[in-house]
Structure 1
Amino acid sequence: MASKALILIEGHRSIGPLYVRAAQRRGLYPITMSIDPTQYGYLAAEGTEAVQVDTNDLDAMKSVYSRLRLTHAIAGLTGFSGLDESVYVTVGKLCRHFSLPGPDPASIEQCHDKFVQRQLLAQAGIPLPDYRVAMNATEVECAAAEIGLPVVIKPVVGSGSSGVRLCHTAEELAKHAAYLLGGTRITQSTPKILIEEFAQGQYYNVDTMGHQVVGVGTAEFDCPPHFVFREVTFPAPLGKDEHERIVDLSLSCLQALGLGWGPANIELRWTKRGPVVIEVNPRLGAGPQLVNLAYGIDLVTEHIKLATGGKCALLKKRSHTAAWRYLIPDLDGTLDWIDGGTQAAAIPGIAEVKLYAQPKMPIIRKGDSEDCIGYVIAASPSRDQTATLLQQAVDLVNWTITPFRDGHC
């Protein structure tokens, strides 16, 4: 038998490498199962094994897993979400089938459907924006009229802000509903649409592990009508009472949804009526690096511990401020050049600089997390110092884009 293996289902361009490296540090042999392993460049860069398999086919996944355990002692299994959170449902089902530590697949599936999730939260008395579900354009129009414009409309299934849009007018609503219902999006689910009240107020995101709140962060978004993160900061500047209310609400969400194994991320806004839950994701948030830099808690490693039958340790070791700035282009076209990453990374206090885009790459914004062409992360003992360092680094990263002719590639 080879060294103990950790099976990773699909990948993720920012946190995927963290899992690979954390597994290796723990003496594990990471193996990625993916429908297309070549889409994750870090797999080749890290020299890790990958197996091509249709990750939408549960029986095919079971067959590959059974074959792998003939040559490897498999310690555990987990996975990632890109723009399709069904990966986590698959992870739960595989863990249950092969008696591995993992989340309850039924609870994950409930969260996967945003409408079902909201129904369960509402039944538990969790404060939510007003919401409706629609299957066609007429139902979308009626739902928006009942709730009142502006409204946020989104697919019932999805992540990474894919297909999420704020609509102020009936025209905007009709156009985006037609887009979501018309099959122009790549989706494997019935095109159900969630229409919800636009909850106005400061955005917060909460990272949990098991039944414990690890940290509360805050974020700002890029240009509306989309909900693409511009900057995320941990910890959020909160008073004691505000922090306690967010913690209590987050734990109530976990209980209402039957969660409590492994990581979860809760998104909310502080409105005129207090904290209102936007969404609960049964997975890590987008930036576990920030939690590590701010508190000294490596959520990736702690998750791997759980997935391999161990116990996690969530004791805070430091109290810093960490911030993540996403690099978002402001037009579509061909990227001419991008530079400055090396100089930005050399600034003391800059924890990481990542540039995804390469010269001659087409830039086509879709209003989701994939619009990001890179990021910069800074950390220091002071909130003001972190903000200053982050801006200094971001100012060093520059690029130019030549617009497409006549709007075409």
Structure 2
Amino acid sequence: MQNSAIIDAARDFIVAQYSQHPSPQLVYHNLAHTQQVVQAAGQIAAHYRLQDDELLAVYIAAWFHDIGYLTGDGTNHEETGAREAVQFLKEHQVPENVQTMVQGAILATKMPQSPNNLVEQIVCDADLSHLGSKNFSDRNKLLRHEVELTRQQEIPSTKWLSSTITFMLNQHYWTDYAQTLYKQQKEENIEKLTKKLDKKTAEESKAALENSITVAGTGEAGEPAPHEKHKKDKEKNKKPDRGIETMFRITSTNHIRLSSMADSKAHIMISVNSIIISVILSVLVRRLEDYPNMVIPSIIFLTTAVLTVIFSVLATRPNVTSGMFTKADIEKKNANLLFFGNFYKMHLEEYEWGMKQMMTDADFLYSSLTKDVYHLGVVLGHKYKLLRISYNIFMFGLIISVLAFLIAAIFFPVKV
């Protein structure tokens, strides 16, 4: 049986299972969630262009990963799902290597996730793809409702929000593609949850304070209460981390784009003037014996082209740096590890050590980003300065050359 037919059979089997075993309490771990995981798994797998057996394993694992919720309380649903998937594959005479991959992928989704290969990583990332989706808020509400129905008790908002934020901060996506695809939205979701938790905590604190004392929220002469003042100071001093990161990203992108534009302009000057030089040397020089009045204009024209090429090449010529940094540089926060010229001669272990030191120090990280943007600007300024000189030489040299040719042709004609 072809893999596509097996995947379709798995889909029909899972849909039938959810239809035959209705579970009203499964408002989150239902067929809609399974279909969402299958869609996310297919998207991630398509990026890595998996082989037929690996792709089959991803889809089967995605379809069966939560089927265990239909036969129990969900405590060991991964083991149940793995058994059901293997039994299904055996009935369809699927090779044992695929059965092993599917079993491993489903078991790897058990918290904390522990994938050992790409297939398992894809299924794990797809299972938690909702953390980085725009409908996270709705999915999170359904999950809370399902947990409350299962435990038969209400969960306080602050407790649920706090545990969800902790889980999301500790969770990370395993594949590079999922990290790129879901990271930004996941950070936004965490930020929204944090603001909601702060609001809920403030409301509960205010209510508790109002119940314990008669006058709350003001001190002498209408001054804000200490806890309110502390809260305002905290909000005032809070750094807009996302805004800072966006600023660095946009600035660096603009600098790189401007550098690319400068290189393109320099290449145009080099190409045009190289053609001019080749024409002058191959055609015009051989005719100067017949037209001696054109010697000076030709020299001016040739000099213009040569100088233009020289400054254009200088504008695009890369600078060679030492490519080394020391531990003392890291300790003093003098090294910029974001620029390849500062580490291309280093060993990987030394570079990893330096990067870990930088990533654990926010001031060092932002300082490195600032230095990187600054040096990009300095290089860009030098490049555009040389490029401007090149264009000025070409423009004024071309004008002078044309005038020289006209003067030579009109006032110093060749006598036949």
TM-score (normalizing by structure 2): 0.23
Please state which structure has a larger fraction of its residues in helix.
2
Which one has the largest radius of gyration?
2
Please state which structure has a larger fraction of its residues in strand.
1
TM-score (normalizing by structure 1): 0.24
Pick 1 or 2: higher relative contact order, CA cutoff 8 A, min separation 6.
1
